[in-house]
Amino acid sequence: MRHSDRSKRTPYVKPVQRVELSEKNIRIRMILIVVLLAIAVVSILTGLSSALRTEPGWQEITVEAKQANCGKEFVLNYDFSDAGSAATSQFKTLTALYSTACVDAFHIFSPDVQSDDLLNVHYLNAYPNETVTVDPILYNALSLVQQHRNRHIYLAAVYAEYDRIFQSENDVAAAEHDPVQNPALMEYISEAASFANDPAKIDIQLLGENQVKLLVSDDYLAFLEEYEIETLIDFGWMKNAFIVDYLAQVLADNGFTTGYLASYDGFTRNLDTRGNNYSFNVFDRQVDGIYMPAVLTYAAPSAIVFLRDYPMVQSDAWHYYAFPNGRIASLLIDPADGRNKSSIDSLVSYGANQSCAELLLQMVPVFISNEFSTASLQAMAANGIHSIWCVGQTLRYTDADANLSLQPQENMTYTKVYAG
């Protein structure tokens, strides 16, 4: 018997019926399509509008700029609670303003990047012993440095050598660039520091109307030429104190005063003029790690500077290096001898009427020193600059009205003592 091959059979297909559509049905369908498309477009636009709308309340402002800028080194948080329906427009205005300021600040304080629009630190370095006109922001910064007789900005050659430590890929390479372990390098650094610390060898002459002359002696110029050094002035690790002040001033001048700026390396400006209280975490380093012994509640507006001789965040890798023996190299360098040092592990100072740069320039002689001076901090307190620091497990402070809340620690008990 012959079997049929079902796989080769053509299945039964129902004949297609032709349906005639009237013009009326076509019009209805077209209307439905248009309506559905309109609904879809409206939904998309509504979603986009919602995504782009800034809600009242706290928002983080990030830099939107293709040019080189310092935005990654700072956090700007701003409160739009009082903006209402204008929050979105204020957000856009503030973002544009902040972005431009971060681009300008990067270039103004850059010692090695030439700027076509701003007469910056690089420009000043290029014309020693000549009268040049610099950006007003830089002029004011140099003026403040000169007022406090600070010599750290002249340590550019020394900073360059310490940078080699931080760029090292291993401990062997770091040891080669460490003056503590390399006597020949220490001799060079000592000589470079001696030039930097002597106003007769290098100094700034402020001539008014943003005109400056970088005075450099012939023997220092010969030294720079011998070692192929081109950078004479560098704000170095202090740079962000001046930048955060500049950014804060730009915001305040344009009416943005309900927020705060903070850099990763310890410089904070709170602009809030509404009488609100804020908190600041106080840290301390012990042998077995970093602790947060207290929280300071303070009233804004205020400036806060937190100096430390140890790394805390990933970005600190560019400014600190921990050797196997526990010693930490940093850019906290004493112009007197070119060695990095600190009189205490960390120090917090704050004030309502000072800028971060003003606080820093008064803290530096206390912090970068062979001996810690409580008397110096007490003298600062008499002028409205208060400080917090730790000795062992004792938290000391110079502000009798400080609102300091001790925080419970695992395996560690802190006490607080007024040191005013």
Q: Does residue 332 have a pLDDT over 80?
A: yes
Q: Does residue 274 have a pLDDT over 70?
A: yes
Q: How far is CA 145 from CA 108, 152, 266, 341, 367, in A?
A: 16, 9, 19, 20, 17
Q: What is residue 352's predicted lDDT score, i.e. its pLDDT?
A: 96
- Between vectors from CA 373 to CA 370 and to CA 375, what angle results, nearest 5°? 160
Structural contact between residues 92 and 86, judged by C-beta atoms closer than 8 angstroms: no
Q: What is residue 380's predicted lDDT score, i.e. its pLDDT?
A: 98
Length of the chain: 420
Q: What is residue 162's predicted lDDT score, i.e. its pLDDT?
A: 96
Q: Does residue 228 have a pLDDT over 60?
A: yes
pLDDT digits (tens, 9 = 90+) for 164-177: 999 999 999 999 99
Range in 29-33, 95-99, 361-365, 375-379 the model is least confident about: 29-33
Q: What is residue 298's predicted lDDT score, i.e. its pLDDT?
A: 97
Q: Does residue 51 have a pLDDT over 70?
A: no
pLDDT digits (tens, 9 = 90+) for 96-111: 999 999 999 999 999 9
Q: What is residue 414's predicted lDDT score, i.e. its pLDDT?
A: 97
What's the CA gap between 226 and 234, in Å, rounded? 20
What's the average model confidence in pLDDT over 269-277?
A: 95
The share of the chain scoring above pLDDT 70, in percent, equals: 87
Q: What is residue 28's predicted lDDT score, i.e. its pLDDT?
A: 53
Label residue 222 left, alpha or beta by phi (over 0 means left) and psi (-120 to 50 means alpha): alpha
What's the average model confidence in pLDDT over 130-140?
A: 97
Q: What is residue 53's predicted lDDT score, i.e. its pLDDT?
A: 63
The share of the chain scoring above pLDDT 90, in percent, equals: 81
Q: What is residue 6's predicted lDDT score, i.e. its pLDDT?
A: 37
**Helix (H) / strand (E) containing 68:** none
**E strand map for 80-149:** 131-133
Give bridge partners of residue 268 from the DSSP assignment. Answer: 262, 304
Neighbours of 277 (CB within 10 A): 10
Structural contact between residues 74 and 263, judged by C-beta atoms closer than 8 angstroms: yes
What's the average model confidence in pLDDT over 141-152?
A: 98
The more confident residue out of 399 and 114 is: 399
Q: What is residue 117's predicted lDDT score, i.e. its pLDDT?
A: 82
pLDDT digits (tens, 9 = 90+) for 53-85: 678 899 999 999 999 999 999 999 999 998 888
pLDDT band for 410, please (50, 70, 90 cuts). confident
Q: What is residue 56's predicted lDDT score, i.e. its pLDDT?
A: 80
What's the average model confidence in pLDDT over 366-378?
A: 98
Q: 336, 112, 70, 118: which is closest to 233 by C-alpha? A: 112
pLDDT digits (tens, 9 = 90+) for 11-49: 333 343 444 445 555 555 555 454 444 444 444 433 434
